[in-house]
Structure 1
Amino acid sequence: MKNVLIGPILRLFFRPEAEGLENIPKTGGAILASNHLAVSDSFFMPLVIPRRRVTFPAKLEYFTEKGIKGAFKKWFMTGMGQIPMDRTGGSAAQAALDTGIRLLREGNLLGIYPEGTRSPDGRLYKGKTGMARIALEAGVPIIPVAMFGTDIANPIGSKMWKPTKIRVKFGEPLDFSRYEGLSGDRFVERSITDEVMYALMELSGQEYVDMYAAKVKELQTAQPSDGVPAQREPDRIPETKAG
């Protein structure tokens, strides 16, 4: 569907271009670990990869809404290569990990946003370690991906998309085979995750914040009456320019 119906429209209005496509394997499984600026990231990244489908885990709510609108949303998300994942609890999280591992072992490309949610302010936030565990269990490389312009085309909270230039940059694959057999070691998984986030910082030029994006969103929405203490200024890695 992305090529027949959606692709031509997105290409016409957003003129997406890609850099580093030679880093995408022609066959076999790999994780595409991307920064996450907008919902549209999941549309534009697969669009610029020729002849290979990218599967993304998506919130279960996108597939369970009632009525005609819900049916259309389910059809659209499925056509864009997204699969429903329930992330509400421990067993649900394990099911999501198992699904990702299975897809990779079958030779698919799996898109993951290691920040876990969209950036609230355009900066790059601390990565979650589930990506590392999946990579170790499946024995696949992780390819960092930087999205540019999607936050302008599709700002958080907007219902309409604004035509603008979209750019997708694929970095060199990161091989973690040296950690084979160490899945479940939290120190190893954190080390892998931090290495990927550093690669994303260099690739995207974003400022890095050593705090989970979900926590930042929680603090932003909390009211003074909630008794939430003032937010500590998070640790940062100095901003670098994109290559």
Structure 2
Amino acid sequence: MGSQQIFPRFSGKSVLVTGAGTGFGAEIAFRAAQEGARVGVHYNRSKDGAEQTAARIREIGGAAFVVQADISSWDSIRQLADETFAHFGGLDVLVNNVGDVATEQMSWQELTRESLDRVIDVDVKGTLLMCHEFGRRMVEAGHGNIVNIGSTVVVRGSARAPQYAAAKYGLLGITKSYAAAFAPAVRVNTFAPGFMETGATLERSDWQGGRREKLLAATPLGRIPAPEVVAGTALFLATDDASHMTGAYLLADGGFNMVGA
């Protein structure tokens, strides 16, 4: 990856990434800055992580602003939208990366009401309301792009956490609905990475207990990438090269699923 050329696809643009204090969100935020964007680094609880992401961005000469909000609250989302639009004087790109994956759950039998409510509140309601509030303002401004971070779990379901698969399937309905509602001014798409080696993944007991090796064997490209490998792919959906894409589901999983059209 070191020799990869990075193009300034977001030069002069503003990008807000939710959940940018950790994992994939942090890498998308950093990549956007590498590509010339002014970046909003959102967090809910990971304040230190968000500050770290912002520091990384500033180290390369980029502009970052850190903002807190609880994505499961409509009022909090409205405030986040107001703050973001005021800070940037508008917004070009929103990346809805926040999602609760119920990492603590290792089997469908461990489902709790609390986990079900949390995943639906954050992943479904939260993402819908983020699209709603930010998209409304983008439509008023006459331009904008929304990228929802989905999952390949919609292909196979999840025996581990059915509520997570249900939520990510719901995300497709949200993407298509708002893509239709906001056209032609604002595009809305879903990006689905396959398995990535984030800190959270590496700590999972199933990952350490042989799951990684099984997945590698079933992945034609033969690797489980670090999140920075596919961060630029997620952002592609917000570039001019994707100007004729809306309501789409883009998959980057090393060939693991090979979904039919």
Q: Looking at both structures, which has the greater relative contact order when contacts are Cα pairs under 8 Å and sequence separation is at least 6?
A: 1
Q: Same fold (TM over 0.5)?
A: no
Superposition TM-score tier, normalisation by shorter sequence: 0.3 to 0.5
TM-score normalized by the length of structure 2? 0.42
TM-score normalized by the length of structure 1? 0.44
